[in-house]
Structure 1
Amino acid sequence: MGVFEEILKHPDELYPLLKLKMAVKQSEKQIPNEVHWCFCYSMLHKVSRSFALVIHKLEPQLRNAVCVLYLVLRALDTVEDDTSIATDVKLPILRAFHQHIYDSDWHFSCGTMDCKVLMDEFHHVSIAFLELERGCQVVIEDTIKMMGEGMAKFICKEIETIGDYDEYCHYVAGLVGLGLSKLFHYVGSEDLAPDNLPNSIGLFLQKVNIIRDYLEDINEVPKSRMFWPREIWSKYVNKLEDLKCEGNSEKAVQCLNEMVTNALLHVEDCLNCMSALRDHSILWSCAIPQIMGIGTLALCYNNYQFFQGAVKIRRVVTITVLSPYDVFSIFVFVHICTLGLAAVVFDQTNTKADVYGAFNDFVSIMKTKVDKKDPNATETLSRIEAIQRICRDSGTLNKRKLHIVRNKSAYSPILSNSQFLKLIKMETLWEILKYPDEFYPLLKVKMAVKEAKKQIPPDIHWGFCYTMLHKVSTSFSLVIQQLDTELRNAACVFYLFLRAIDTVEDDMSIAMDVKLPILRAFHQHIYDRDWKFSCGAGDCKILMDGFHHVSTAFLELDRHCQVVIEDMIRQTGEGMAKFICREV
């Protein structure tokens, strides 16, 4: 059932999802009016919305410097990544890039899509750079100079040894960590960290990206990009591209596991670096990418599907990860997602306790996936246990708000809704005696249901919405009843729109040439009080026939909420239409 089903499975994620969506809109409002700054922040949202979100809490001086640093790095990376540029052209550009940033007339057309726009309009970034304080300019210039030299070095050199691998990652990412640390210190927010700590922050994230992007890099046209060190992959295959061949599945997974184990080397430094941060907004901006990084490794580890398609914590997918060994038996349900878990991570990562907790949870997931027959199992377990020990020794695990791993009851009820409601209606003494500890919670739920029904507004359209919500999902109507009125109304309307679009998708009697246009235009229909489409069965048919009531309620919401809901329905409709025409 797609997005709708996932929201049903994890209703506790709906509020963080809405907050994340609102945060995106709020960060977009921070875009300055000046043409060059407007270009910079608009481009940042296009080339990395997640990074734009991560830095939006920083104070303006630091946020501007970090924005410019990121765009200059992305531009430099675009030159390095474009395999169509001749080496004799590329090398001088990489080595002189730290000089080009001072030239407001310089640009170099390369790359594709948004990165091409960035390169074509690079003068806007240069103008913004020239408005920064001199101290920030020096930090950015030094970072770009060293990075350009390092990139140029590895254009002409393959990554043979693990030492080469670490050196390359230092040039393209460790220097970023060092540059950010110097910017944090320059503006007076943080002490200057020892070089090894921010360097490890960069190395860890770069190694996550290199592992995750194996297929994308190996299939690059016109020439493959190979960043996995020969010292590791040559133990398992003759050529790096052989890892994706089905006949090499066992060796491929062992190679992948060694790459993940290598990346875990940097986690201790990452945690020590973040533990020293004082400024909450800086901690938050550093912690989010690190948590998503360790989550990606947990998902990749011992996972042959990695070689069938890129494994990422994407914004459009929720993936349930179950250990092939003993996770199910102990009822640990783990789910790694984008819009779901990423929203929760963005919303609930507020303290160092949350950071330690997330790392502890993710490496615990990884630990359950270790196959003792794997040649690196002992080393992997040793590094995982070292990370767990650091997290435990922090003394903060019982103070956190963010939980990645929960027990089964936190994510999915042991009983289905129908079984649960049936149990509530049981009147025999025998049933009560069988489950005495459940009797009081059952009564409380029953009372909560009645209390929720009392909150139904007198307006006809809102009365229809909340009554329909109780009918199509009593559990969700209970979940949202404690929210403040504005948010509760928005969540109610959003849920009903999702149920309505899901009803259209699920109705097999609707001809394809009728269904597809409805799904793709559903985000427009929600603005039309006169629109309805009769389909579905039972309560869902009533919802579709009375859809004008939901549209009327939607039109009474705050404009900001309308935009968030419209955007999510548009994306949902497009996704549903896509998968109607193809198998999963």
Structure 2
Amino acid sequence: MGKLTQFITHPLELRAAIILQFFRKPLFSVNDTTETPDLKQCYKLLKLTSRSFAAVIMELNPELRNAVMLFYLILRALDTVEDDMSIAHDIKVPLLRDFHKKLSLDDWSFDGNSPDEKDRAVLTEFNSILHEFHRLNKEYRDVIIRITKEMGNGMADYILDEEFNLNGVQTIKDYDMYCHYVAGLVGDGLTHLMVIARFASPELIKRPELFESMGLFLQKTNIIRDYAEDIEAGRSFWPKEIWSIYGEKLTNFQSPENTKQGVFCINHLVLNALEHVTDVLTYLSSIQERSSFQFCAIPQVMAIATLALVFNNEDVLHTNVKIRKGTTCDLILKSRTYKGCVDIFEYYLRDIRKRLNVEDPNYLKFNIHVAKIDQFIEEMYQDNLPQGVKPNKTEIYLKVSERAKFDNPIEDVQYEEIYKFNMLLTVLFSTVLGILVIYLGPSNAEQSTQ
């Protein structure tokens, strides 16, 4: 289905796309992104390597924007070394382990990637990244160096792990550890950057399980969705501890006779990912600055929407499924407030439970776990208490109550955007109606009969 057809059949998503494109105002100017030639080059590399990440990074408060942009490019460079199978192990492994040391150099670049490596420019142009990195606040630099060191060593360990390379991820514990190195550490770094900038509660630093869940929820969603692509490339990230319950080989799920078991396996993995939801919602309640909140919230609402899409969906076994462009626009607009994010999670959790097959081996576990999330959300607001009953002032209730002062102005902006859209719609409708009256009115009708 083409994008135009998708928009026509989903008018609310069309409205979201129009509001996002024409009525939503950027939070901050981006004029400072061209301050120096090196900085301009860095933002060019950002757009070259990821349009989606570039869009959300450009929305960030200028205090944090360059730090996050450089953090992303440095980890992208590290990942480009790790992903390139043309680089010999005796070059790759030491480079990954020592990559953090390159960040202390004045100049360094690497041209050892394959010419076909799509992101090789991040390494060949690394000098520009280094020059801007050295202009950052030292506290930001220290965080980025620490995460780069941990991630580089984790990548090197996996390259040298023969069991992993031959048989993929084995246990759920291994699954969590792999996701920690590729995504949990990113959550760690971003959290520290936001706390240093005073855009997030310092309490987050003391609760690593929260930022760990932020990364794991995203990465597990991607791993479930990317099954067909990974199988084609000879990779295996679904944990054997789960998939072996449903089949003898991971590749067997692509056979028609094994589709049902493959779908049950997908659902089991979705259930595993949903274990992080309460941590994700708790984390988001602690982000105070508006652009930082949106930066964190948008990927998470995309993840829950994607989980709902892959749930009970046999297409995952054969192709890479994606949420519609219009759905993405709608999620971006609705996730600007904390209540908007919670509503999105509730909507997709209801959708998952509605489509849950009673024959699914995890039918009871799904219902119990979603009920626990529902109870957690009810605890946030406690709107329907009997008269005279005071709310139970739990940690999450107090956090969400505090967030109201940040969200109220945003809700006013949302109403204004919808009002402007409705006015545009009224003008367009009136214009079209006027044209029809002119060309199809009584005088024209009389002329056509003469």
The TM-score normalised by the length of structure 2 is: 0.79
Equivalence for 2:239: 229
Equivalence for 1:196: 209
Q: Which moved more, 1:69-78 or 1:229-238?
A: 229-238
Equivalence for 1:162: 172
Equivalence for 1:307: 317
Equivalence for 2:415: none
Asked if structure 2 preserves the Cα contact closer than 8 Å seen for 1:174 and 1:199, the reply is: yes
User: What code does the residue aligned with 1:341 have?
Assistant: T
Superposed CA RMSD in Å reads: 3.0
* 1-structure distance, mates of 2:133, 2:179: 25
Q: Quote the sequence identity (%).
A: 37
* 2-structure distance, mates of 1:453, 1:287: 34
* 1:8 and 2:8 correspond: yes
Cα pair distance change 1:396/1:351, threshold 3 Å: farther
* 2-structure distance, mates of 1:389, 1:58: 33
Asked if structure 2 preserves the Cα contact closer than 8 Å seen for 1:169 and 1:207, the reply is: yes
SS where residue 119 of structure 2 aligns? helix
Equivalence for 2:367: 381
User: What code does the residue aligned with 1:134 have?
Assistant: K
Per-residue deviation, 1:374? 1.3
Per-residue deviation, 1:113? 5.4
Equivalence for 2:445: none
Per-residue deviation, 1:28? 7.1
* 2-structure distance, mates of 1:219, 1:178: 32
Equivalence for 1:273: 283
Cα pair distance change 1:301/1:397, threshold 3 Å: farther
* 1:106 and 2:109 correspond: yes
Which structure's residues are more often helix, by fraction?
Answer: 2
* Equivalent residue for 1:116, pick from 117, 120, 136: 120
* 1:73 and 2:83 correspond: no
User: What code does the residue aligned with 2:16 have?
Assistant: P
* 2-structure distance, mates of 1:468, 1:282: 48
SS where residue 260 of structure 1 aligns? helix
Asked if structure 1 preserves the Cα contact closer than 8 Å seen for 2:311 and 2:352, the reply is: yes
Equivalence for 1:153: 157
* Equivalent residue for 1:217, pick from 230, 233, 241: 230
Equivalence for 1:131: 135
User: What code does the residue aligned with 2:217 have?
Assistant: F
Equivalence for 2:42: 40
The aligned length equals: 390
* 1-structure distance, mates of 2:195, 2:81: 30
| Correspondences of 1:22-33 after superposition (within 5 Å) | 31-33=33-35
* 2-structure distance, mates of 1:136, 1:347: 30
* 2-structure distance, mates of 1:134, 1:206: 29
* Equivalent residue for 1:467, pick from 419, 428, 435: 435
Asked if structure 1 preserves the Cα contact closer than 8 Å seen for 2:109 and 2:124, the reply is: no
* 1-structure distance, mates of 2:348, 2:438: 36
SS where residue 394 of structure 1 aligns? helix
Per-residue deviation, 1:466? 6.9
Equivalence for 1:354: 340
Equivalence for 2:396: none
* Equivalent residue for 2:265, pick from 255, 270, 286: 255
Asked if structure 1 preserves the Cα contact closer than 8 Å seen for 2:356 and 2:363, the reply is: yes
Asked if structure 1 preserves the Cα contact closer than 8 Å seen for 2:108 and 2:127, the reply is: yes
Asked if structure 2 preserves the Cα contact closer than 8 Å seen for 1:353 and 1:397, the reply is: no
Equivalence for 1:290: 300
* Deviation readout 1:435-475 (Å, 9 max, x if unpaired): xxxxxxxxxxxxx9xx868953xxxxxxx89737999xxxx
* 2-structure distance, mates of 1:289, 1:469: 47
Higher CA-based Rg: 1
Cα pair distance change 1:42/1:453, threshold 3 Å: closer
Equivalence for 1:97: 99
Unaligned 5+ segments in structure 2 are 385-403, 411-422, 440-450
User: What code does the residue aligned with 1:365 have?
Assistant: D
Cα pair distance change 1:154/1:381, threshold 3 Å: farther
Cα pair distance change 1:293/1:359, threshold 3 Å: same
Per-residue deviation, 1:33? 4.1
* 1:245 and 2:238 correspond: no
